């Protein structure tokens, strides 16, 4: 692992900083809230989903893998 200077650490966004600490999957609300979100969305294979403000894309990736829609995800920091 590379050593970062204090200036480099200050320039990191919150996701990159947490990744440096070893926390690579950030998911506010946890799995239970994501399960509920996906249940309420009732998305199925062949549909299209746009995830705005996806962060690192955890929900978008899971949605695509488990339910089969075409997913486009965007975040201002990515």
Can you read off the two tokens belonging to residue 45? Answer: 């294979």
Residues 6+ apart with CB under 8 A from 44: 67, 68, 69
Q: Cα separation of 65 and 59, whole Å?
A: 10
Per-residue pLDDT at 3 exceeds 60: yes
- pTM for the model: 0.61
* Domain extent listing, the chain: 6-74
Q: Cα separation of 43 and 13, whole Å?
A: 31
> When comparing pLDDT for 74 and 57, which is higher?
74
Give me the pLDDT at residue 78, please. 56
Per-residue pLDDT at 51 exceeds 80: yes
pLDDT mean over 50-72: 90
DSSP calls for 23-59: -----TTHHHHHHHHHHHHT--TT-EEEEET-TT-HH
pLDDT mean over 34-54: 91
């Amino acid at each position: 692992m590379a050593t970062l200077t204090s200036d480099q650490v200050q320039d990191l966004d919150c996701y990159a900083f947490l990744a440096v600490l070893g926390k690579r999957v950030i998911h506010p609300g946890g799995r239970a809230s994501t399960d509920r979100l996906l249940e309420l969305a009732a998305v199925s294979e062949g549909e299209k989903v746009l995830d705005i403000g996806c962060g690192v894309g955890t929900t978008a990736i899971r949605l695509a893998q488990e339910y089969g829609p075409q997913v486009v995800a965007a975040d201002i920091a990515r």
